[in-house]
Structure 1
């Protein structure tokens, strides 16, 4: 009944020129750990990534129940011959996750079930999903998008004449969505990458960092403490945590430490009695 808007981003319009983009490959060890946990639980790696992204969306929107868009292939229930039919079948639909006190392992399985159930609706229009929700148009159902996509490894693409691209010159390309925050998980088969697109001033590289940290926390919890409440998964990389809690709080200043606090207060009263000493909501107190 209410859209989930990470970082408060909404009503973003324009031609995409204000969108920042960042790419990163995840460490091979993390890729291996995630794939091993997905096999052990009997779920898709995409389910683990959806849960991690849900935690990023939850922490950046201040909510425990989150809704974000997920990109569906569109050909799973397209009928006989769909594999030989040209055209764009992909669709985007909302998925809701509850980032609450449920254990991590149980929440991974619940996420997998919800994604499987969503496949039955892969051809439903987003307009229909909007009408089925309690979110009144024109408010968006969600402000964040996750695209889990399987890619040809870069080493194989354009490597020779076998791919039919001999003599072709690659000029460039650009992709954009209407959503202020988009994350693509690039599954290369034995490697994982992240591509983030986010409107300024939010840093796309920071978003990649949040997702990597969430995936690291998820792998750690599944390996050693699968009953850890999913809402306790952290998304802040160590460097950003240090910056927020220590660097920004280096506010030490010299003062006459040999004097008592009430003496310092009395001195301030004499110097500026009407200066504001305390603010609480709509009330102010002078010294």
Structure 2
């Protein structure tokens, strides 16, 4: 328990791709089986051996990177199935039964860490926990502050010998039509089977994932594995991308193709144009009050003339100490009509903060209301009452 508590320290939320789904619903899972090309399998295996990594570690690192990108997090956790027949359990060699266990695998990304260093660190962390793989998942869960399931995805690396011919030689019996079948109760699982071609069996709930969803997952996971297989020792984890060249082009080129003609008119000029087009249309609604474009424009014009007579104009600043209201909108338009800039100040700010802002900005005028003019009196700034 101490070992697992240490391993999961700081984990503040679960990693779930389908956080709102009922993970215990009884739904017959679907499978999508993909066999990697022999060349990629060979390159991936060679990369692992060169850096003293197991292929299982490589698959788990790739899954962790995929989850991190899909969830936007740097600290993710998923399940892994282990044999569970730990030698630390007294008498385990004489016990009969299925001892497989599901354990959490935590992958913490560090921006400046290389991909291969991440894999080596994850393998070391697994080795440190290997003596404690017999602890039940419920007992492990209790070592965290997280309620509910820690994860909703599972990785299984099936690396056990199965020789149909050897089975056929036993006791003169012949075994034919042998087809192993795996189902899991997690919404999404990856079952990896090593061999001449690394086989990936994606098991998923069809009510939560569509076929196109799984197609995308397969493409992205294969892309991560390819990055691992071809990784330069200096390749950083943050540089691993999941986008295909087509998706990259779409994101950078097509989605950004938003150029359009933009008028050179100022904001208040655009407003005046709208007021001419639809003078009686409602421009502003505040609580029970409504005002048309024509009335709002006339009100702003009146205030603008007053402000100009008091010195407001280009290269000047006018502070607006006006609460949310129709008058606030009219005051903003009025200042713009004079060519000055406005500084909005929330009347709910502490008085000291308001005084500091007025002193620091040094506006030529301060527009106030009956309810806010007392906030300016002590500053000595000239004010206009609306």
TM-score category (smaller protein): 0.7 to 0.9
Aligned with residue 37 of structure 2, among 15, 18, 27? 27
3-state SS of paired residue (1:134): coil
Corresponding residue for 2:243?
236
Aligned-residue offset at 1:43: 1.7
Corresponding residue for 2:126?
115
Corresponding residue for 2:201?
195
Structure 2's unaligned 5+ residue stretches are 1-11, 284-328, 330-386
Structure 1's unaligned 5+ residue stretches are 276-284
Corresponding residue for 1:148?
157
Q: 1:48 to 1:131 in 2, by over 3 A?
A: same
- State the distance in 1 between where 2:159 and 2:282 align: 65
- State the distance in 1 between where 2:184 and 2:173 align: 25
Aligned with residue 130 of structure 1, among 117, 122, 141? 141
By relative contact order (CA 8 Å, sep 6+), the higher-ranking structure is 1
* Maintained 8 Å contact 2:86/2:92: no
- State the distance in 2 between where 1:185 and 1:250 align: 38
Aligned-residue offset at 1:171: 9.0
Aligned-residue offset at 1:204: 2.4
**1:156-167 residue pairs with structure 2 within 5 A?**
157=164, 161-162=168-169, 166=174
* Maintained 8 Å contact 1:68/1:95: yes
Aligned-residue offset at 1:208: 2.1
Cα shift readout 1:129-174 (whole Å, capped 9, x = no counterpart)? 11101212xx111121111112668xx6479944777475669956
1:219 and 2:229 are equivalent in the alignment = yes
Corresponding residue for 2:103?
93
Aligned-residue offset at 1:118: 2.5
1:181 and 2:177 are equivalent in the alignment = no
Corresponding residue for 2:115?
104
- State the distance in 1 between where 2:84 and 2:176 align: 30
- State the distance in 2 between where 1:141 and 1:64 align: 15
Q: 1:252 to 1:42 in 2, by over 3 A?
A: closer
- State the distance in 1 between where 2:53 and 2:180 align: 36
- State the distance in 2 between where 1:245 and 1:128 align: 47
- State the distance in 1 between where 2:226 and 2:257 align: 32
- State the distance in 2 between where 1:228 and 1:55 align: 14
The higher radius of gyration belongs to: 2
3-state SS of paired residue (1:132): coil
TM-score w.r.t. length of structure 2:
0.57
Q: 1:159 to 1:105 in 2, by over 3 A?
A: same
1:45 and 2:36 are equivalent in the alignment = no
* Maintained 8 Å contact 1:104/1:228: yes
Corresponding residue for 2:67?
57
